[in-house]
Amino acid sequence: MKKFILFFSIIAGLSPLDLSAQVSNTDRVYDDNIVSVLLYANGNQLKDPVIKLGSADRLTLSFDDLSNRQENYKYTLVHCTSDWKTSDLDPIDYLSGYLEGDINDYQFSFNTLTPYIHYQLNFPQPQIRPILSGNYIIKVYLNDGGDTTVLITRRFFVVEPLVSIAAKVPYYPKNLAYFKKKQQIDLVCYTPDVFRAEPEQRFKITIRQNDRWDNAQVNLHPTSVTPNELQYNFVDGIVFNSGNEPRYFDMKDFWYQSEYIRSITQLKNYYKVILHIDYPRAGGQYETYQDNHGKMFIAARSNQNPKIEGDYAEVYFYLKMPEIKNANVYILGQLTDWQLNENSRMTYNSQTHQYEANLFLKQGYYEYWYAALPPGSRQANITPIEGSFWETRNTYTIYVYYHNRNLEYDRLVGIQKINAH
């Protein structure tokens, strides 16, 4: 079992791996020493982790380990249902080759205040690859892969593009009460004859706004079926809060104080970055600018290799506003794995009348929102803080699943990404 008495736990006051934490089929890190986890396609950090079944597509998983020794990390791939429960399939049904692999590509950091080891895995590999479409988890672990040795779980998709999807965001929603307030998704699926059996029951659709899972619309069945066509005509339509463009800051260079960064201080083992105070944008004017829809991008100065020369900073966030009663406030985006947990939750300072939080982040470019989450709810709402503007250029990703009766699993038979505008 790995020993977690490491320098980062000491300097940042973080707890070691919670051995009681339950491993889940979500994008999650289970060890405070594992940071900057990325999973992306075709060598592009901003590409969604999707591969076409039977193709040469590759995904890249990378992460930094703040420990001081190299570990023999292993990984496996787990097939899931359309709602991300572990499927009933045996691994030999959906994997070709071995059932686990090793992560052998690693490098020690060079010339950084924060020492770390950078790991990278390109997959699928010939010795372990998926042979069925659907939702998948890649699980990184030590030893036997039991819950107490899992470090990372990440979602990815294997698609067999057998259906076509036509989707758009209309100007006028079906429910005019949502006009200029919410974005509606109109869609039609065109299916080949092979999918004629029980289409109302077997087809399910999931729609995500940007890369969020908390507000995803899931398990949508067609409202009407015609030959080779599935219609989704709900009374109020398929709607999402429009939200706003994400906030951002550029931390690619610790020698340059970019927009939205108030100060940068070099400490012994890391940098300290204080952002300018943020304020609510609800009720303000909509502003448009190019963005990455809440993603982060690990990068550094042109003469640096960000994989091993990128340094780390404790980044301090401040949101000046009255306290929201009966709700917690979170930092939402890829920089917090899109998770609403203790790591992303902000604390309200009644003396300064502001929400405060800090995150340990690698050099790069980051985007985020502030979101409110009432107790007992799983869906965060950015509208009270960020506002909601129909003009917001959200992206929507549509996943089409078909339940296969032979092996009893959910095939992923189509993916379509659209922009709101």
The predicted model gives 75-97 an average pLDDT of 97
Which residue from 187, 131, 126 is spatially nearest to 160, judged by alpha carbons?
131
Domain housing 217: 164-242+394-419
Do 300 and 380 lie in a common domain? Answer: yes
Would you place residue 201 in the very low, low, confident or very high pLDDT band (cuts 50, 70, 90)? Answer: confident
Would you place residue 84 in the very low, low, confident or very high pLDDT band (cuts 50, 70, 90)? Answer: very high
Do 11 and 142 lie in a common domain? Answer: yes
pLDDT of 194 over the 90 cut: no
Give the pLDDT of residue 4: 34
Q: Which residues contact 267 (CB under 8 A, 6 or more apart)?
A: 113
- % of the chain residues with pLDDT over 70: 95
Give the pLDDT of residue 198: 81
In a domain, 2, yes or no: no
pLDDT of 195 over the 80 cut: no
pLDDT of 5 over the 60 cut: no
- Give the helix/strand (H/E) hosting 101: strand 101-102
- Mean pLDDT, the chain, as a whole number? 92
Would you place residue 270 in the very low, low, confident or very high pLDDT band (cuts 50, 70, 90)? Answer: very high
pLDDT of 117 over the 70 cut: yes
Give the pLDDT of residue 228: 87
Return d(Cα 41, Cα 334) in angstroms, integer: 16
Do 11 and 147 lie in a common domain? Answer: yes
How many structural domains are present in the chain?
3
The predicted model gives 32-38 an average pLDDT of 97
- Give the helix/strand (H/E) hosting 385: helix 383-386
Do 378 and 291 lie in a common domain? Answer: yes
pLDDT of 34 over the 90 cut: yes
Return d(Cα 210, Cα 169) in angstroms, integer: 14
Return d(Cα 37, Cα 51) in angstroms, integer: 19
Do 376 and 414 lie in a common domain? Answer: no
Do 123 and 15 lie in a common domain? Answer: yes
Give the pLDDT of residue 301: 82
Give the domain-ending residue among 159, 182, 201: 159
Do 97 and 172 lie in a common domain? Answer: no
Q: What is the CATH number of the domain that holds 65?
A: 2.60.40.10
Give the pLDDT of residue 303: 84
Tokens of residue 403, six digits: 């339940």
Give bridge partners of residue 414 from the DSSP assignment.
400
More confident residue, 288 or 133: 133
Give the pLDDT of residue 245: 97
In a domain, 1, yes or no: no
298-345: pLDDT as tens digits: 999 878 999 999 999 999 999 999 999 999 999 999 999 999 999 999
Which residue from 84, 102, 176 is spatially nearest to 143, judged by alpha carbons?
102
Do 410 and 277 lie in a common domain? Answer: no
Would you place residue 21 in the very low, low, confident or very high pLDDT band (cuts 50, 70, 90)? Answer: low
Model's pTM, two decimal places? 0.92
In a domain, 260, yes or no: yes
In a domain, 45, yes or no: yes
pLDDT of 11 over the 60 cut: no
Mean pLDDT lowest for which of 144-153, 232-241, 259-268, 292-301?
A: 144-153
More confident residue, 351 or 198: 351
Return d(Cα 207, Cα 399) in angstroms, integer: 6
- At 41, is the secondary structure helix, strand, or coil? strand
Residues written for the chain: 421
Return d(Cα 2, Cα 266) in angstroms, integer: 30
The predicted model gives 394-409 an average pLDDT of 94
In a domain, 407, yes or no: yes
More confident residue, 17 or 375: 375
- At 74, is the secondary structure helix, strand, or coil? strand
Phi (first) and psi of residue 178, to 5 degrees: -90, 0
Would you place residue 282 in the very low, low, confident or very high pLDDT band (cuts 50, 70, 90)? Answer: very high
Helices (H), ranges, 54-153? 91-94
Do 260 and 232 lie in a common domain? Answer: no
Would you place residue 403 in the very low, low, confident or very high pLDDT band (cuts 50, 70, 90)? Answer: very high
Give bridge partners of residue 284 from the DSSP assignment.
none
Do 216 and 255 lie in a common domain? Answer: no
